[in-house]
Chain A
């Protein structure tokens, strides 16, 4: 996908998110008179396959995985689902029908007469889920699928973060690039944001070597190299957006522990949004191949300065035929930043000129 259309796609993503929210809410409100059938097939199979081994004897996790199926699944669970992590068969059938409808709409060559159109790109430019997501939220622990209570510092950062989001309006145009988040600035989406599903370019390629696992994230063109040789972390003063990762095998599961994060940059959310984490953040990821095309991904967030207890996100990522990673040249073509700032300055000049009259 061309990065040039990123801003439009972002707007589209917001629209899709609203639609998805509406669908989810509708599903939640339409309480069936008979209790919903327990979803026997909806929970992922507990058994895991034994993955092939690399020639040097490590479990072989290699391939290109995407999280597209969960692009409309919210991080926190809508309250009406309570402690229910999986959709019922009925709810899944409705979601499948909705996906089929979208797929059909994507094939339409012309806009319907009298259809409402926008200046955004057509829907089929974005990625689509290939099958309905089974989960009601990405958060699996706490059991209610909601983030745990925040510490006072966490509450402070949440308020600051919310203020920043509302700052970018016609009433309060950006003073500089620093008013935008790290993703819009093309710096990074942070570790969690690089793998949490977003509206497009959700690919992650895993390449292994003796002693190393490498993750290449399509957006924003990230690479993480994870040593497996039990070496200690780098010194406390070497800090980074993506942190310092160390990995080891527990059976066929790759366990990656990451520390040494910069303070107050990205959060645990889509594209790195959300409450900025602290320098005490410690992330533990678990990668387990559950069938030949599916990896179960788990991320435990432990940031005692921000959250009152650790919490966990988990979801499947899948290998899809024909999916390739494309170079995401975000910064080189970040015309959106130049245009937003120059537009804001132009409006100020116009307002100044109007005052002079």
Chain B
């Protein structure tokens, strides 16, 4: 009796640590990325300054280099070529929408909301040529984009329904293992996807997925649904790079004042008349 009890204790001494180890290990079959930063509750910690590289901000589809619209800017104003971020490289526009995209392209120097420093919307904010910073609390997250100080809260604890359509929409998040899934709705459809006129409507719904590839890289994916504009949902994916400069931080980019001459210049008082 006594020795059996002792044997039991020994078994426990071995088993308990093993069980504890299993409990903090990922579920069977799930690959865990080593040494990524984690919150006290072991969720991945996305806090940091991130930025997309590549040329998706010009065109989310594959594109060749080309001259820019202003010859005075020479090579500085030229448009670099690059690989797109659309899976399969095809955006399944409905026929009317394919026509509208062509019109947008033709009139992009008047219509692109970025020209006027308008809020960038989602997902465009993610791959503009500016860094953004994620602030992750024990519950919700905030993303602050350098461009125009655009920002959004990702509600994780308490879901928020959009009361009105807005440029940045309403973001609700949840975790699936180490992946943060964010559903963005309530978008007003005024934003574009890039500088060549890819667009959606106010019926746009986006599901984003953020996960670590390694401690300094995130995998970003977004599924794009809009029954008004597209024949089927489609997907973009790209890596996000951690800004590694010492004390990396966002720099204020209040571009409104850089656009006032463009927007209101024709209404300036003419003094030499």
Instruction: Tell yes or no: B75 within 8 A of A by CB.
Output: no
Taken together as a complex, chains A and B put the C-alpha atoms of A188 and B257 apart, in Å, by 10
Q: Is the CB of B268 within 8 A of A175?
A: yes
Given known contacts A55-B41, A338-B264, A209 and B149 CB-to-CB distance under 8 angstroms = no
Cα A329 to Cα B269 in complex, Å, equals 27
Interface status of A341 (Cβ within 8 A of chain B): yes
Closest to A222 in B: B149
Q: Are B153 and A332 in contact (CB under 8 A)?
A: no
**Is B125 part of the binding interface, using a Cβ–Cβ cutoff of 8 Å?**
no
A308 close to chain B: CB less than 8 A:
no
Known A-B contacts A338-B267, A341-B264; A324 and B144 likewise in contact (beta carbons under 8 Å)? no
Residues of the A chain whose Cβ atoms lie less than 8 Å from the Cβ of B135 = 207-209, 212, 214, 225
Asked if A287 is an interface residue, CB under 8 A from chain B, the answer is no
Q: In the complex the two chains form, what is the Cα distance from A212 to B247 in whole Å?
A: 13
The residue in chain B whose Cβ has the minimal distance to the Cβ of A179 is B269
A344 proximal to B (CB < 8 A): yes
A240 and B118 contact, CB distance less than 8 A: no
Contact residues of B between 234 and 273, Cβ < 8 Å to A: 247, 249-252, 254, 256-257, 260, 263-264, 267-269, 271
Complex Cα–Cα for A55 and B257 (A): 41
Q: Is B211 an interface position by the 8 A CB rule? A: no
Q: Which residues of A contact B167 (CB under 8 A)?
A: 327, 329, 332
Report chain A residues within 8 Å CB of B164: 326
Residues of A within 8 A of B138 (CB): 54-55
Interface: A4 (CB within 8 A): no
Q: Which of B117, B119, B153 contacts A207 (CB 8 A)?
A: B153
B252 contacts A241, CB within 8 Å?
Answer: yes
Bound state CA distance, A231 and B247, in angstroms?
7
* CB proximity to A under 8 Å, residues B131-150: 133, 135-138, 140-142, 144, 149-150
B45 at interface, CB cutoff 8 A = yes
Contacts of A305 in B (CB 8 A): none
Q: How far is the CA of A345 from the CA of B248 in the complex (A)?
A: 46
Which residues in A have their C-beta under 8 angstroms from that of B153? 205, 207, 216, 325
Per the bound structure, the CA–CA distance linking A231 and B47 in Å amounts to: 17
Whether a CB of chain B sits under 8 angstroms from the CB of A78 is: no
With contact pairs A221-B149, A225-B249 given, residues A324 and B160 touching in the complex (Cβ less than 8 Å):
yes
A56 within 8 A of B: yes
Q: Tell me if A344 and B249 are in contact (CB < 8 A).
A: no
Q: Are B142 and A223 in contact (CB under 8 A)?
A: yes
Say whether B151 contacts A223, CB under 8 Å.
Answer: yes
A10 within 8 A of B: no
- Is B201 an interface position by the 8 A CB rule? no
| The residue from B39, B41, B256, B264 contacting A187, defined by CB atoms under 8 A apart | B256
B-contacting residues, A182-220, CB 8 Å: 185-188, 205, 207-212, 214, 216
Contact partner, B144, options A214, A234, A327, A348, Cβ 8 Å: A214
Residues of B within 8 A of A185 (CB): 256-257, 260
Enumerate A307-335 residues with CB–CB distance to B below 8 Å: 324-327, 329, 331-332
The 6 closest A-B pairs by CB, nearest first: A240-B252, A341-B267, A175-B269, A55-B40, A327-B166, A223-B144
Q: List 19 A-B contacts (CB under 8 A).
A: A176-B268, A185-B260, A186-B256, A205-B153, A209-B45, A210-B45, A212-B47, A221-B119, A223-B142, A225-B249, A241-B252, A241-B254, A324-B163, A329-B119, A332-B119, A332-B190, A338-B267, A341-B267, A345-B267
Interface contacts beyond A56-B40, A177-B264, A185-B260: sample of 12 additional A-B pairs, CB < 8 Å, sorted by A? A55-B39, A175-B269, A186-B256, A188-B254, A207-B141, A216-B151, A221-B149, A225-B250, A240-B254, A331-B118, A332-B118, A341-B264
